[in-house]
Amino acid sequence: MSALTRPAALLFDLDGTLVDTAPDLARATNALRAHHGLAPLPYGVIRAQVSNGGSALVTLALGLAKEAAGHDPARTFLLAAYGEAVADESRVFPPLSPLLAAWEAAGLPWGIVTNKPRGFAEPLIDALALTPGALLCADDLPVKKPDPAPLLEAARRLGVAPHACWYLGDHLRDMQAARAAGMAAVAVGWGYVEEGDDYHLWPADLWFETGEALAAAIASTEMPPTR
């Protein structure tokens, strides 16, 4: 059976794939706007930009390009506001909690590969009582996604061949990284996909609109998988 139907390990992007972090990031983004005397942006507008990181949220909030004067201080302010409470409203996407519980109960490995800095990722993961066997963050290696190196390092730490891993993500760069790593690229439609961006057009191997569909597909595979 192929790796696409019989994964030996699951690797997740963090924001928008495993955890819904948009509420806390939206709070920080609107705190930045309030600091500049601006009205809050609608939650949905902010949510669509969350996967693009802090600089994108600064651009959204203030209209400042990454190279513009004032961008870096604004990003520092936004991240400080976010860091004060990274898990007030952030939650694991509900269908994924029982999936992970069943996966761990079967003694199977899983991990997280994120472009989020470790200083924010670790407190979030700890607050949600998640126990990945591998966690690769933006500042752990000299490169980050879409470079495949973090995914390959996660697979190495889990002791699983890359071709036997599924990597799940809600952004084009996640699929690019997975393909480059030789992993099954799994695109999810419940995350922070920007308006007008059709995730079905990403270079993925599998596409899931809902967490329930993903969980059902994984539950239907034969366990334990071959490594």
Annotated catalytic residue, options 13, 20, 24, 170: 13
Annotated catalytic residue, options 15, 20, 170, 174: 15
d(CA 112, CA 133) in angstroms, rounded, equals 8
**Residue 205 is among the residues annotated as catalytic for this protein:** no
Q: What DSSP string describes 79-103? A: HHHHHT-TTSS-EE-TTHHHHHHHH
Beta strands in the chain (DSSP E): 9-12, 19-20, 91-92, 110-113, 134-136, 165-169, 184-188, 206-208
CB atoms within 10 A of CB 205: 17
**Residue 197 is among the residues annotated as catalytic for this protein:** no
- Please identify every residue annotated as catalytic: 13, 15
